Structure 1
């Protein structure tokens, strides 16, 4: 199979880590152009040393590249605001965008939950690191029983939060909350991010709490099995993704009514399901504690690879 050429916009930590994943892990993607705006960035320097084309003139430099016509997929690892400007220029030129920012121009995609529903989307949004880590769990519970409320807390090492992440905290919470509902299936979603300044830096930790109707023993076992299966699916492309403790269940009464939409109030009470996760980075370019960035680049890689294989499958049928 001929590899599909890609470009990466954003020569910071996320874009550079993604470049190494494309080079070392992908059998269907071929690294084409690394795009940045800082000519002194480490990402551009590393790409150049590896023999790849680089430009520090942003998306305009990419469009002028002699390889531009060969590039099918463009990853955007910049910021929410920058992605909107980049999309305006690239979408009319027929490029498929995999957006690693919280811009949310295109549909939210979490590979193990809904990727196959959006294979024809021109601009795919990878939600956020917290969303990639936790929404699979919300969706797993939703597949067993309706989720009336879903809340996630993503705790990441402060050292792993670069200027793009810090500038997009509001977008992070808004995008993740919306995706908990739209992708995870919760009637109401809430997201919290914590920048943990601990030394030594700690790996990403995520807490998922959902409210369901009261669960009996049989349905609790179904939830446990669904969560375990989903963790295994995510770990297939994010090896450092794991369940930290057994799934926790706690019955609650009317005190939880205020968290759920009015039409979801349960007169018989609720069961609070709590799942604790951690994500250790692969340390391919970023340190091990940067699991939040690793899960984003891993999810983006899996998404782009599936876009390519689905295209080949359709061409084979035709």
Structure 2
């Protein structure tokens, strides 16, 4: 491995952490694995890391800090749970480690690479929102770049088999964090997020639906919205190849008697149209099968952020 690469640790040896480790090992240009951290000595993620030559510990964040070479680790991905991240960040940030948070803890600023990748590269703790947020917030942002979005609602449906214990423990945080990021990153005046763990067999691929209420009465606005959404889908697919539109963007009139006023903030114009966007996210099958697009989009987004952070740090060292 190149000595110029930044060393990273991953806390959480479950589905997300293991998929992320494989991406770092196979695809990263600026990062190399320094440690895989878990709390279950029998976990498949720790066993796989050991087989791949990655240093491991089953003693959690304290075990990481005690590992040989800990001082060389620059970035720490946290793929545990929202509650655990609060503890992990409290231990690691005072030691100068940059945290890329893949839980819904939302201690640091939200990053959705296709929307605001460069805005928080100097932050010591950044939050990757949620898998549903990474899939849908770019679409809300694409619409809001054309016309104000009074209300945005997203529904993320993932295969139950792709949701590990950490994901299940964070369902409430998922909805709260994603809803907040729909507003702060996506640009909607108000937002709501819903997640569905689909137990269907065989497991179904990740599907996401985005509804935006807008005033699209001006001539040509519909074409501009469609063009903006299609461009955004292309931008996300650049780092998540399995991300795609399931069908054409739909823009429909909102009947005058439909009670939508309560969905938009007070003082906002009544929406005239509903924009409906239907997405599909196929995973790269690095760890779980291709139906687990929720893993792929989350880990791909986290990797994208860490890559850019490492690239920026390296450039600054050269300048000095």
TM class by shorter-chain length?
A: over 0.9
Q: Partner of 2:267 in structure 1?
A: 263
Q: Tell me, in whole angstroms, the C-alpha distance in 2 between the residues paired with 1:163 and 1:215.
A: 46
Supply the distance in 2 between the matched residues of 1:264 and 1:280 (Cα, whole angstroms): 37
1:314–1:218 Cα change, 3 Å = farther
Offset of 1:313 from its aligned partner?
A: 2.9
CA distance in 2, matches of 1:248, 1:216: 16
Residue aligning to 2:169:
167
For 1:230, the equivalent position in structure 2 comes to 232
Q: Which residue, out of 54, 72, 75, partners 2:56? A: 54
Equivalent runs, 1:30-45 vs 2, <5 Å: 30-45=32-47
Report the secondary structure of 1:117's partner residue.
coil
Please report how far the alpha carbon of residue 219 of structure 1 lies from its aligned counterpart in structure 2 after TM superposition. 1.2
1:265 is displaced (CA, Å) by 3.2
The 5 Å alignment of 1:194-273 reads 194-252=196-254, 253=256, 255-266=259-270, 269-273=271-275
The residue aligned with 1:191 is 193
Check whether the contact 2:100–2:128 (CA below 8 A) recurs between aligned residues. yes
Tell me, what secondary structure is at the counterpart of 1:233?
helix
1:197 to partner: Cα distance: 1.2
The residue matched to 1:277 in structure 2 has which SS? strand
Report the alpha carbon displacement of residue 317 of structure 1 after superposing the two structures with TM: 4.1
Give the whole-Å Cα distance in 2 for the aligned partners of 1:317 and 1:270: 52
Number of aligned pairs? Answer: 316
Shift of 1:33: 0.4
**CA shift digits 1:163-208 (9 cap, x unpaired):** 1111110000000000000000000000000111111110000000
Deviation (angstroms), 1:217: 4.3
1:8 alignment counterpart: 10
- CA-based RMSD: 1.1
* 1:199-222 Cα distance to aligned partner (Å, 9 max, x none): 111000000000111333411111
Dislocated runs of 4+, deviation >2 Å: 214-217, 312-318
| Whole-angstrom CA distance in 2 between matches of 1:189 and 1:277 | 18
| Aligned equivalents of 1:217, 1:149: Cα separation in 2 | 21
The 5 A counterparts of 1:23-102 are 23-102=25-104
Any gaps of 5 or more consecutive residues in structure 2?
Answer: none
What is the deviation of 1:293?
1.1
SS of residue matched to 1:263? coil
Secondary structure of 1:306 counterpart: helix
Alpha-carbon distance in 1 for matches of 2:46, 2:219: 55
Q: Match for 2:288 among 279, 286, 289?
A: 286
Structure 2 residue aligned with 1:149, among 151, 154, 169? Answer: 151
SS at match of 2:213: strand
Q: TM-score, normalised by structure 1?
A: 0.97
Aligned equivalent of 2:136, options 127, 134, 137: 134
